[in-house]
Amino acid sequence: MNNPWEEISLSDYENHMSLESVNQLQTMNSLMKKQFSGYPVKTAMVLGIAGGNGLEHVRSGELEKVYGIDINEGYLKTVEERYKDLAGVLECLCIDLITEPEKLPHSELVIANLLIEYIGYEAFQKAIIKINPEYVSCVIQINTDEAQWVSDSPYLHAFDRLDEVHCQMEETELISALNKIGYCKILNELNPLPNGKALQRIDFRKQ
């Protein structure tokens, strides 16, 4: 059976994420601006790039190469269409991070926002080992109340199959998983959202 993310339409995903009651697309965009500019690197990789939210913050001349990785080929085609101005800098690659980590190129910075939830700690470790970045910047969703992990919205049923692949993230487990492969935590910040949820950004540097 194919991955649920190969079936979710980008419009349903982005419309859900941008609802005022969800506010994740907007918050993630602000976070990505900080992620892209936070470290002295020439190459960056976005794992689970979806529709390319945040790529407008790639500043010409500072980043020589940005890789966009996703399992959904349709998402990647949309990204290439939306960000034609990044031609020569942006390279989109359709890769299943669970089964094809060997296809990942090297990058100095890895950005993984709301991605680890869908591949698990072990697959993420394998991907990071292969990419061998200097910095890793992650955003995970924290459910600070006991509500369902997908916020209620008119688009809720578009995500019905995600229960097949979703793993609830824990800050301590993520830090431990990265420590085990040689990365130490250098930043930890919580960004509150509506509906009792929050986006937690945790950054790491290779030891």
The domain that contains 52 carries what CATH number? 3.40.50.150
CA dist., res. 173 & res. 179, Å (int): 10
Mean pLDDT in residue range 20-41: 87
Q: Where does the pLDDT of residue 159 fall: very low under 50, low under 70, confident under 90, or very high at 90 and above?
A: low
Q: How far is CA 198 from the centre of its chain?
A: 15
Average pLDDT over residues 201-206: 98
- Residue 9's pLDDT is 76
Residue 2: CB atoms within 10 A of its CB come to 9
> How many folded domains does the chain comprise?
1
Rounded to an integer, the average pLDDT of 4-28 is 73
Rounded to the nearest integer, the mean pLDDT of the chain is 87
Rounded Cα–Cα distance for residues 117 and 133 (Å): 20
Greatest alpha-carbon span in the chain: 45
Find the mean pLDDT for residues 2-21.
71
Whether 124 shows a pLDDT value over 50: the answer reads yes
Question: What is the pLDDT confidence band of residue 18, given thresholds at 50, 70 and 90?
Answer: low
Whole domain around residue 193: which residue ranges? Answer: 4-206
Indicate the range of 42-46, 86-90, 147-151 predicted with least confidence. Answer: 147-151
pLDDT given at position 160: 58
Percent of the chain with pLDDT over 90: 66
